[in-house]
Chain A
Amino acid sequence: MIKVEVDMSKCQHYGQCVFEAPDIFRLNSDDKLEYTAEADDSERANIEAAIDVCPMQAIRIVE
């Protein structure tokens, strides 16, 4: 399993991550980011892509 962490003090809810890892990240009905903190290893590449595109660099994989 991979643990995902989003620093919500940095996150500005741009939602760029949603396109890269739609099974992990989503915008809720208030346009705020929600995410699944534990993901299968098969999601690693998608999560890394989401980390790359985060404008605030708020996403981390906790090893």
Chain B
Amino acid sequence: MNHPVVIVGASMGGLRTAESLRRFGYAGPITIIGEEAHKPYNRPPLSKEVLANEVTHEAVAFEERAATADVNWVLGTRAVSVDQQHNTVTDSTGMVHPYCALVIATGLRPRRLNLPNGDLAGRHALRTLDDAINLRAELTPGADVVIVGGGFIGCEVAATAAKLGCDVTVVHNSAHPMLRPLGTELARQMQLRHEAEGVRFLLNRSVVGLTGETRVREVHIDDGRSIKCDVLIEAVGSHSNTEWLESTSIDLSDGVLVDSAMRAISSSGSVIPNVYAIGDVARFANPIFDNVPRRVEHWNIPTETAKRAAAVIAAQLNADEKFESLIQDQFTPVPSFWSDQYDIHLLAFGSLGLADKVTLVAGDATDECVFEYHRGEDLVGVCGIGMRSVVQSYRAKFI
């Protein structure tokens, strides 16, 4: 019997890889190794519905399809190393999994603040369902909630906590929340809308310390102020989960470097033919924008990269004559994301963060609006509040 395709990472990207392998005609065994005890579930509701309501795994789990009913799930287990010579993965129970192809889908974990007195209870980050369930129990009306990091996740959690009746302060290291992706005008409008809901912002500020006995009670700000805190939420970016790959030759300088076929690239620049990476952890060039490989933490990327990798793997394993032309195909997914905060629904396409010029092109920034994002002469993104049909119409400009 042939060795399985081993997918490490049991989140959306891992699941979509397995489903797509079947769709592209790979009929052999598939193993999915995942650190969480849960089968794959949808993460976007974690910062919203799951924090606000008694949501179970069942309610957010992806529906299982008949085609992947025979997948061998190895859950509650971490991959700890790869033997690239012998094509095996070893997991945290010591089990060795031989593979014919390896798919790296281990994603990211939240970066945590490195603070004196950091072992106090009441510190949270949000990535997994269990994180959300633990945090939900503490978001009680009147609780003093301090969120460090005013990016999308920080702001979504701020909105949810404010709606739950918490007293919310966001400590953010630039002049406006979500400034870098959104640009000054839209970021400032979003800030005003949060403030109208009672959220306070400490801007161009950071947290330097904590006090409390067993739980955090106060957070110290770098301007000398101290603020009351029952719940501290750290939304300050993420780390790639690549430590388990350190014994390989893969370029791990930022996530996993891959080519346009999602094949891992070694530090010396050569393709590793049976190792692939997908999702948040994969760093690839997107010719829509330029030839600079980047990791992309947007909603549709795990699915798009999973489908691309699966098509290539299936062709490779089935010795399909199309393989050589398939790997030459361009891979140009249009990044797509949204964010819901209160009744504000942001929808965006492209890579807003690449822009050096942001222009209001429709509507009014205090209400429904559409902004274009340009780098030099090139359109690199679009973002709107409401006006979905207009925002949607831009997607075709990237294809």
Contact = CB atoms under 8 A, between A and B. Distances in A.
A13 B388 contact: yes
Contact of B392 (A27, A45, A48, A56): A27
Interface residues of B, number: 23
B366 interface: no
Nearest to A59: B63
Interface string B264-301: 00000000000000000000000000000000000110
A55 B338 contact: yes
B347 A14 contact: yes
B63 A57 contact: yes
B4 interface: no
B342 to A, nearest CB: 13
Contacts of A16: 299-300, 336
Contacts of A57: 42, 60, 62-63
A36 interface: no
A31 B395 CA distance: 16
B239 interface: no
B303 interface: yes
Given A53-B303, A55-B44, A57-B42, A12 B345 contact: yes
B78 interface: no
A52 B303 contact: yes
Contacts of A15: 347, 388, 392
A36 to B, nearest CB: 18
A27 B388 contact: yes
Given A12-B340, A14-B347, A53 B389 contact: no
B300 A53 contact: yes
B376 to A, nearest CB: 27
B387 interface: yes
A60 interface: yes
A15 B386 CA distance: 12
Interface string A10-46: 0011111011000000010101000000000000010
Interface in B195-223: none
B176 interface: no
A3 B42 CA distance: 23
A60 B63 CA distance: 9
B48 to A, nearest CB: 10
Contacts of A48: 23
B263 interface: no
Contact of A18 (B60, B63, B345, B392): B392
A18 B349 CA distance: 14
Interface string B97-114: 000000000000000000
Interface of B: 16, 19, 23, 42, 44-45, 60, 62-63, 299-300, 303, 336, 338, 340, 345, 347, 386-389, 392, 395
Interface of A: 12-16, 18-19, 27, 29, 31, 45, 48, 51-53, 55-57, 60
23 contacts: A12-B340, A12-B345, A14-B338, A14-B347, A15-B388, A15-B392, A19-B395, A27-B388, A27-B392, A31-B388, A45-B23, A48-B23, A51-B63, A52-B16, A52-B19, A52-B303, A55-B42, A55-B44, A55-B338, A56-B42, A56-B45, A57-B63, A60-B63
Given A13-B388, A16-B300, A56-B45, 19 more contacts: A12-B345, A15-B347, A15-B392, A19-B395, A27-B389, A27-B392, A29-B389, A31-B386, A31-B388, A45-B23, A51-B63, A52-B16, A52-B19, A52-B303, A53-B300, A55-B44, A55-B299, A56-B42, A57-B63
